[in-house]
Amino acid sequence: MILADDQIQNHNQSETTSHRNELSQLTNLLSERGKNPESILRRLTGFQVAIPSWALGAGGTRFGRFSIGGEPRNLHEKIEDIGLIHALNCSSGAVSLHIPWDIPKDTDAIKEHASGLGIHFDAVNSNTFQDQPKQEHSYKFGSLSHTKKEVRNQAVHHNIEVIEYGKKLGSKALTVWLADGSNFPGQQNLRKTLNRTLQSLSEIYASMPYNWKLLIEYKPFEPNFYSMVIPDWGTSFLLANSVGERAKTLVDLGHHLPNTNIEQIVATLMFEGKLGGFHFNDSKYADDDLTAGSIKPYQLFLIFCELVDGIDNGNNDDFSNIDWMIDASHNTKDPLEDLLQSVEAIQTAFAKALLVDRNRLEEAREENDVVLAQEVLQDAWATDVRPLIRESRIKSGGAANPIQLFRDLQVRKTLIKERGIGTAATGL
Amino acid sequence: MILADDQIQNHNQSETTSHRNELSQLTNLLSERGKNPESILRRLTGFQVAIPSWALGAGGTRFGRFSIGGEPRNLHEKIEDIGLIHALNCSSGAVSLHIPWDIPKDTDAIKEHASGLGIHFDAVNSNTFQDQPKQEHSYKFGSLSHTKKEVRNQAVHHNIEVIEYGKKLGSKALTVWLADGSNFPGQQNLRKTLNRTLQSLSEIYASMPYNWKLLIEYKPFEPNFYSMVIPDWGTSFLLANSVGERAKTLVDLGHHLPNTNIEQIVATLMFEGKLGGFHFNDSKYADDDLTAGSIKPYQLFLIFCELVDGIDNGNNDDFSNIDWMIDASHNTKDPLEDLLQSVEAIQTAFAKALLVDRNRLEEAREENDVVLAQEVLQDAWATDVRPLIRESRIKSGGAANPIQLFRDLQVRKTLIKERGIGTAATGL
Amino acid sequence: MILADDQIQNHNQSETTSHRNELSQLTNLLSERGKNPESILRRLTGFQVAIPSWALGAGGTRFGRFSIGGEPRNLHEKIEDIGLIHALNCSSGAVSLHIPWDIPKDTDAIKEHASGLGIHFDAVNSNTFQDQPKQEHSYKFGSLSHTKKEVRNQAVHHNIEVIEYGKKLGSKALTVWLADGSNFPGQQNLRKTLNRTLQSLSEIYASMPYNWKLLIEYKPFEPNFYSMVIPDWGTSFLLANSVGERAKTLVDLGHHLPNTNIEQIVATLMFEGKLGGFHFNDSKYADDDLTAGSIKPYQLFLIFCELVDGIDNGNNDDFSNIDWMIDASHNTKDPLEDLLQSVEAIQTAFAKALLVDRNRLEEAREENDVVLAQEVLQDAWATDVRPLIRESRIKSGGAANPIQLFRDLQVRKTLIKERGIGTAATGL
Amino acid sequence: MILADDQIQNHNQSETTSHRNELSQLTNLLSERGKNPESILRRLTGFQVAIPSWALGAGGTRFGRFSIGGEPRNLHEKIEDIGLIHALNCSSGAVSLHIPWDIPKDTDAIKEHASGLGIHFDAVNSNTFQDQPKQEHSYKFGSLSHTKKEVRNQAVHHNIEVIEYGKKLGSKALTVWLADGSNFPGQQNLRKTLNRTLQSLSEIYASMPYNWKLLIEYKPFEPNFYSMVIPDWGTSFLLANSVGERAKTLVDLGHHLPNTNIEQIVATLMFEGKLGGFHFNDSKYADDDLTAGSIKPYQLFLIFCELVDGIDNGNNDDFSNIDWMIDASHNTKDPLEDLLQSVEAIQTAFAKALLVDRNRLEEAREENDVVLAQEVLQDAWATDVRPLIRESRIKSGGAANPIQLFRDLQVRKTLIKERGIGTAATGL
């Protein structure tokens, strides 16, 4: 299903008056505070968040999965779905591909299809946490860190294959999330396992084009429940440092122990120039993979404060140098609506971070005026920036209210009609 | 596959000398400390832990599942597997049945089969967290707590059906684990949801035979990630109190927030006479469902200290009044070996708890001699009780070293031959 | 130091124009959405949060304490400080007294002093977690739960003494926070300890006037690090149920294990009519006692959503039936500024909760429209309600911008001049 | 108070028969399993754990402190107390000094005093988390990371002063535990703060003798409750790498977020040759500073498994290359008894780790025989090694049962007589 431009225009017109009104109130307010709404709008508009190819169907837990209906049956339809999202919000013009769930058989056709919808290919993702039919060696006991050379070789080779697909599609980064680890004390020699991981990653790195990044994800537990080979940012950082300059750490918001100060990790990685990518989602307990901003919206804002500060003042080039992706699971929501909510929450956090009065904040910090520093930060945070987000969408040709339009147009119903009720997208 | 008595006897003979030697050293030691090894042996021998019908195949995570081979293809074979375990350790003479994964078509035949292997039927378990084919209403948004009366009715009816199966098999308890909950703030009216749960449980309770118990499980998260209708022991206790005298709380070791003092919960429930059942497993992070005693063996010991004390001195009848079950997932271990390890770890914790010098401990407590109280407790804990566990098995006709014998007899290989490599047992 | 009315009026005039402007924009917006700004203002204005007498000086950690200067030297000065806060925000017209840190020697004089500043006496707090000079028995190993009858008697008697002070001052509730517990496994008989606690609380309850409430606080750890006698809401609820109808649970936001869903606990307690009081603060890790709303403002909003819903639709009378108190520690901020920030954050959460479109929300919940439920909730949450909070203050005679005025008037400097730089208030 | 040799000898004689008996049974068992008890004894005997000078009096929490009586009044008496412990267990022949709590006025006299008791000086500790009388700049808002150059200079200078004391006493390492951090989002520029910390540590490093180590401790929270400048091993590792080769990470067992896999951190640091020191204690919730082995003895064993493996097979020289220290707080136990329990628990974990059949374990790991790997590990763990620990003490001239003798000799009573009941040792 592809949206027609006038469907969006019609929708926007119905929202115009109140939106214009709210927008002008907000821009006046911002101007009074010395902020330039135009420059904020520009940065918002330029900010694109990739949609993962594995998150367009219903997700599930180990206890079950409830289908949503109309799920994309192949890569072509997945990109079509991302096209729908992007048409509505104009901020999701990228896909993060997962191999082998979404092997592009005809790369040229897929590329053209995506390009026609304004979508480019962000980081590609390998999968060595599941066995595929006809696979020679099992990953039951690990992949890049496996005790057996032949299994490691197979996993390294799979990653190189993924790079090959990525090259054809225009990707510039490989994301490695390693599920390797152990379930029981004693099961693994932890030092040897780390060493084998390092060797395997080095081989993969050596096979990457010179202008690619290797994004090394970390996660404290699941699917292994005693140790993971890359459990925390420190290990990812250590590996990235050993492997090479273009190896970087990828932060997934859901991959931290309880109470972790994630924004500080972001700041530290930016200090070292080692923040390579981001997986957005939200969680209350573990790797819950919930809609971004649904549980801890203030944390998301604090993270963007570090991102904005780190890019504007740190050892980092610019926002486009970091790979921005969503990584979520949609167990009970419509995946497309969920993704629209996630992107809006991310934009909101970004916009608010841009509103922070940095000069006043730095003065307060310099003088250890703790109360004032909080006031300055929360002044930006308390501001209702929704008119700005809306304006950014409208200006780019998107919908004033994407979810409303999605429902008005009965998109899901149409997808079910097109694809059937019992379809199940590959992915999690 | 059924073990022949002489297979076990032959194995035991090969272990006799060293075992006798170690046993006599231990019993001498215990006698010197005023302990009666015979009475400990009696309690060990009488202690049976039920095996869940859903844990005899390979478990999995939402990321994948790696088959073990030779998995039981039906309830008959599942009971056969439990028979194998019980023949080896003489401490697993019960099965906890899960409906509808393991509907006994011919209850008489199944009962006879089980009985022939020395196995009786412990608590039966309902399942309203998955949709079954041809089910009228979906449990996607809840079951006993659902907003719609018709869904709640269906779920209540399912539980009553489970009770009917249980009655035929000789069960005396129904375990309700409710996956109901919500993934996002706002999704549910928390008070109304609790109230609906209470009403549904009351209906089920009213349908139970007069001598049955209703075991109400609790869990803080998964498969719902913002709220669970029965997230903690307090809510289970509140519901059990409202529902009726024979409604009790079931403690699953893996269902607690980080750092929870589980042994204190056990003590509190015993103080109130509301501890109804136990699900053994171990975990480091969340509901990891690992082998009992593999991660926090000292915690398991502390829990048994409360259990022994609560039964010997509290408002509770005896050990047979509590339903003891394992609830684990076997992602990388052979399920049967894993279950053998779990039972042994549970017995070890029990035996050590029986060794505690209660009089000296209570004296130290009374005088707040903190150092001495720890010494007394850890004196029991430090003792190597393996000869006692072994003796308890041998005396009952089990194997001195169950896992060793399991491997010597190549049980798994035989099961694969009998059942095939690609079988997948119903369950998690 | 006492603020003159015209100091506040002058301040407010300087803020008038922009405030009127922002306010009318907001009230227009709310009216369009069918909300009645006047009724929200009324509820905001009527909502008072008590200031604890122990939180007016610099707090500290076990590693040290850094004085702020000008700290109140006695109860009279503490009430003066609360008077300052209340004059500025008109929402802190109550004090929660701690005995024996703040024994009112001349109760009539103190009452008159407070009353002159518009302050009444909320719940009184006992202290059996520290030894006082000349105290006969030590609380080193517990108080209400102590193994020795004479220590329990002393602790019970102290609580009765606190009630006596409270009666003279017009309090209507006693808050019991019990630090009792153990540091090591084995140290205490957990069942007996719980039982002794229950007996002691029953004695205290029997000594309360018929129209008083007994508020039972819970806390998972600190200052005891293995077990606390009342570790969680379940235990507090169990005790409150056993002790009597006017025994209720007090929720302190900082007293929960990592990841606890506190709003659900609030909902459950309101379902049972057992929510008696509230201690506001915020935390990231443990009992951090930080400024309310500084770490998890969204959680604070969700809690107020439950409070509003529970009072408007549940088994609870009204907001005035619950004791609202702040319980924080001010290690690096000026305590008065910190308290002003806390109260504002609490009011903000309250105001946003009042903005929630309850009818639409309940409809979405009824239909399990998860996306819409989140949208409705976050619509209220995203609204910038600061003009409303400001208006509520101005209307009641308070300051448009309390912290700004506090600084403009150099209150701290004056207090230091009056009281000295090296003063240290009693408290934590 | 100094123990006479014959006091220990008399005690040991009374324990001889049963000890000899138990020891021979154990050594027979070990020999049968191919283990050399003599070599284990040698390693046990050679292993010394330093006692911190701040842990010889009663500890406390922010809520209070309960004196124990007879606490050492000065450094001389502190070393005397360590002398007592070392005389009893022969495994505590070192002190870790804290400056400025324990400034040695006459270093030669102190050194001679210590040396006479068999005690040498392990790592020295600086303190920039408290203000000392007459200190020019306050550490309220940080020390090595402070925004003001003059505060950082003062803190650097203090550390250099500590090194000077250490040089005179024979220390070879400086431990820096940095309490710096922030309590509120926004308070600090996290990147700049990290950078300032790095600069300050580099200055300190440059002032160290060529054969000294700089041990960089990390801690996730307390006394700051939003961010700590060195919150985790990754940050400590990053700083140590940047500062220089002899800068290493110090692991304090209590300084981790919930559920952290500490043994894996140990393995990773050993893999990188960056494990510099260890602070032993135990905890259930936060930095509880409890007796080692009192809460999670199995975790302590797993850590020692990594230590033994890392030293025997990794990039690390030997055990003497790592600084072993206790860091605990004794709120309710007699500090000397508590320290005796801690050292015994540490030795127990060490002894059990030495018992692990490494060859069989590595084979099982290589083949991913998860069940067997656990069996091999737990076989060592289940062994009752107390006779070996006792023998190691007796052979070195210590007491068979240190706590028993400590009580028989009424050491605490004597100390109270000598020093008074109301003394309070400097420290925490």
Could you read off the pLDDT of D244-256 as tens digits, one per residue?
999 999 999 999 9
Yes or no, beta carbons of A191 and D271 under 8 Å apart: yes
Task: Report the pLDDT value the prediction gives residue A16, as an integer from 0 to 100.
Answer: 85
CB-based contact B303:B349 (threshold 8 Å): yes
| Confidence label for B375 from pLDDT (cuts 50, 70 and 90) | very high
**H or E element in which residue D199 lies:** helix D190-206
Mean pLDDT of C102-124: 96
In the beta sheet, which residues pair with residue A96? Answer: A52
Q: Which stretch of B312-326, C69-83, C376-390, D259-273 has the lowest confidence by average pLDDT?
A: B312-326
* D135-141, long-range: CB < 8 A, 24+ apart: D138/C66, D139/D179, D140/A368, D140/C66, D140/C332, D141/A368, D141/C332
Mean pLDDT of B184-213: 98
Could you read off the pLDDT of D329-379 as tens digits, one per residue?
999 999 999 999 999 999 999 999 999 999 999 999 999 999 999 999 999
Is residue B29 less than 8 Å (CB to CB) from chain D?
A: yes
Query: Which residue of D lies nearest to A192 if distances are taken between CA atoms?
Result: D271
Using a pLDDT cut of 90, give the percent of chain D over it: 92
> Which one of C141, C332, C428 would you mutate to disrupt binding with D, by most D Cβ within 10 Å of its Cβ?
C332
Nearest-CA distance A259 → chain C (Å): 6
- The Cβ of residue A384 has, within 10 Å, a number of other Cβ atoms equal to 20
Chain A residue numbers with beta carbons less than 8 Å from the beta carbon of B295 are 184-185, 226
Using a pLDDT cut of 70, give the percent of chain D over it: 99
Chain D residue numbers with beta carbons less than 8 Å from the beta carbon of B381 are 297
Chain C residue numbers with beta carbons less than 8 Å from the beta carbon of A18 are 32
Is residue C133 less than 8 Å (CB to CB) from chain B?
A: no
- The Cβ of residue C329 has, within 10 Å, a number of other Cβ atoms equal to 28
Q: Which stretch of B49-63, B130-144, C303-317, D7-21 has the lowest confidence by average pLDDT?
A: C303-317
Neighbours of chain C (3+ CB pairs under 8 A): A, B, D
Task: Report the pLDDT value the prediction gives residue C319, as an integer from 0 to 100.
Answer: 79
CB-based contact A315:A275 (threshold 8 Å): no
In the beta sheet, which residues pair with residue D137? Answer: none
| Confidence label for C315 from pLDDT (cuts 50, 70 and 90) | low
Per DSSP bridges, beta strands A227-228 and A181-182 are antiparallel
> Which one of B302, B374, B411 would you mutate to disrupt binding with D, by most D Cβ within 10 Å of its Cβ?
B374
Is residue D18 less than 8 Å (CB to CB) from chain B?
A: yes
Q: Is C209 helix (H, G, I), strand (E, B) or coil?
A: coil
Separation of alpha carbons A174 and C148, rounded Å: 66
* D354-360, long-range: CB < 8 A, 24+ apart: D354/D40, D354/D43, D354/D44, D354/D308, D355/D30, D355/D35, D355/D40, D355/D380, D355/D383, D355/D385, D356/D305, D356/D308, D356/D380, D357/D33, D357/D34, D357/D35, D358/D309, D358/D312
Yes or no, beta carbons of C226 and D295 under 8 Å apart: yes
Mean pLDDT of B87-111: 95
Task: Report the pLDDT value the prediction gives residue C19, as an integer from 0 to 100.
Answer: 95
Yes or no, beta carbons of A259 and C261 under 8 Å apart: no
| DSSP 3-state percent helix, strand, coil across chain A (nearest 5) | 50, 10, 40
| DSSP 3-state percent helix, strand, coil across chain B (nearest 5) | 50, 10, 40
| Confidence label for B210 from pLDDT (cuts 50, 70 and 90) | very high
Is residue C135 less than 8 Å (CB to CB) from chain D?
A: no
Nearest-CA distance B25 → chain D (Å): 8
Instruction: Strands of D46-192 (E only): list them.
Output: 51-52, 60-61, 64-65, 94-96, 120-121, 124-125, 173-176, 181-182
Q: Which stretch of B233-237, C233-237, C239-243, D318-322 has the lowest confidence by average pLDDT?
A: D318-322
Distance of CA C138 to the CA centre of its chain: 29
Yes or no, beta carbons of D403 and B333 under 8 Å apart: no
Look at residue A277 and tell me whether its pLDDT is greater than 90: yes
Mean pLDDT of C127-144: 96
Phi-psi region of C293 (alpha: psi -120 to 50; beta: other; left: phi over 0): left
Mean pLDDT of C146-154: 98
Separation of alpha carbons B374 and D408, rounded Å: 18
Is residue C60 less than 8 Å (CB to CB) from chain D?
A: yes
User: What is the rounded average pLDDT for all residues in chain B?
Assistant: 95
Mean pLDDT of C323-339: 96
Could you read off the pLDDT of B393-404 as tens digits, one per residue?
999 999 999 999
| Confidence label for A94 from pLDDT (cuts 50, 70 and 90) | very high
D321-D324-D328 Cα angle (round to 5): 165
Mean pLDDT of B351-372: 97
| Confidence label for A199 from pLDDT (cuts 50, 70 and 90) | very high
Look at residue B173 and tell me whether its pLDDT is greater than 90: yes
Q: Find the CB nearest C234 among B237, B310, B361.
A: B237
Mean pLDDT of C365-371: 98
Neighbours of chain A (3+ CB pairs under 8 A): B, C, D
DSSP assignment of C232-296, as one string?
A: SHHHHHHHHHHH-TTEEEEEETT-S-TT--HHHHHHHHHHTT-EEEEEE-B-SSSS--BPTTSS-
Mean pLDDT of D405-413: 97
Nearest-CA distance D393 → chain A (Å): 29
User: Closest Cα to residue C16, out of C358, C399, C291, C295?
Assistant: C399
Look at residue C257 and tell me whether its pLDDT is greater than 80: yes
User: Closest Cα to residue C123, out of C343, C278, C292, C344?
Assistant: C278
Look at residue D178 and tell me whether its pLDDT is greater than 80: yes
> Which one of A184, A188, A190 would you mutate to disrupt binding with D, by most D Cβ within 10 Å of its Cβ?
A190
What tokens were used for A72? 């994309």
Task: Report the pLDDT value the prediction gives residue B16, as an integer from 0 to 100.
Answer: 85
Task: Report the pLDDT value the prediction gives residue D312, as an integer from 0 to 100.
Answer: 79
User: Closest Cα to residue D269, out of D238, D300, D225, D230?
Assistant: D238
Q: Find the CB nearest B285 among D259, D297, D337.
A: D259
Yes or no, beta carbons of B18 and D32 under 8 Å apart: yes
Task: Report the pLDDT value the prediction gives residue D315, as an integer from 0 to 100.
Answer: 63
Task: Report the pLDDT value the prediction gives residue B317, as an integer from 0 to 100.
Answer: 61
Yes or no, beta carbons of C60 and D61 under 8 Å apart: no
Yes or no, beta carbons of A334 and C258 under 8 Å apart: no
Cis ω for the linkage preceding D133 (within 30 of 0): no
Instruction: Please give the DSSP secondary-structure letter assigned to residue B175.
Output: E
Mean pLDDT of A387-405: 97
Look at residue B313 and tell me whether its pLDDT is greater than 90: no
- The Cβ of residue B84 has, within 10 Å, a number of other Cβ atoms equal to 24
Yes or no, beta carbons of B238 and C365 under 8 Å apart: no
Mean pLDDT of B153-158: 98
Could you read off the pLDDT of D2-35 as tens digits, one per residue?
898 899 999 999 888 889 999 999 999 999 989 9
Separation of alpha carbons D97 and D108, rounded Å: 15
Mean pLDDT of B3-10: 92
Nearest-CA distance B260 → chain D (Å): 9
Residues 141-170 of A with CB under 8 A from D: 141-142, 147
Measure the N-to-C terminal CA separation of chain D; round to a whole number of Å.
Answer: 23
Task: Report the pLDDT value the prediction gives residue C84, as an integer from 0 to 100.
Answer: 97
Chain A residue numbers with beta carbons less than 8 Å from the beta carbon of D238 are 234, 237, 268, 272
Look at residue B318 and tell me whether its pLDDT is greater than 90: no
Is residue A83 less than 8 Å (CB to CB) from chain D?
A: no
Query: Which residue of B lies nearest to A140 if distances are taken between CA atoms?
Result: B66
CB-based contact D310:D316 (threshold 8 Å): yes
ipTM > 0.95?
Answer: yes
Q: Say how many CB pairs under 8 Å bridge C and D.
A: 107
Is residue D24 less than 8 Å (CB to CB) from chain B?
A: no
Yes or no, beta carbons of A332 and B140 under 8 Å apart: yes
| Confidence label for A1 from pLDDT (cuts 50, 70 and 90) | confident
Look at residue A423 and tell me whether its pLDDT is greater than 90: no
* Burial zone of B388 (CB within 10 Å; 0-12 exposed, 13-18 middle, 19+ buried): buried
| Confidence label for A357 from pLDDT (cuts 50, 70 and 90) | very high
Task: Report the pLDDT value the prediction gives residue B308, as an integer from 0 to 100.
Answer: 94
Task: Report the pLDDT value the prediction gives residue B316, as an integer from 0 to 100.
Answer: 65
Task: Report the pLDDT value the prediction gives residue B314, as an integer from 0 to 100.
Answer: 67
Chain D residue numbers with beta carbons less than 8 Å from the beta carbon of A233 are 234
Q: Find the CB nearest D257 among A233, A258, A366.
A: A258
Nearest-CA distance B314 → chain A (Å): 35
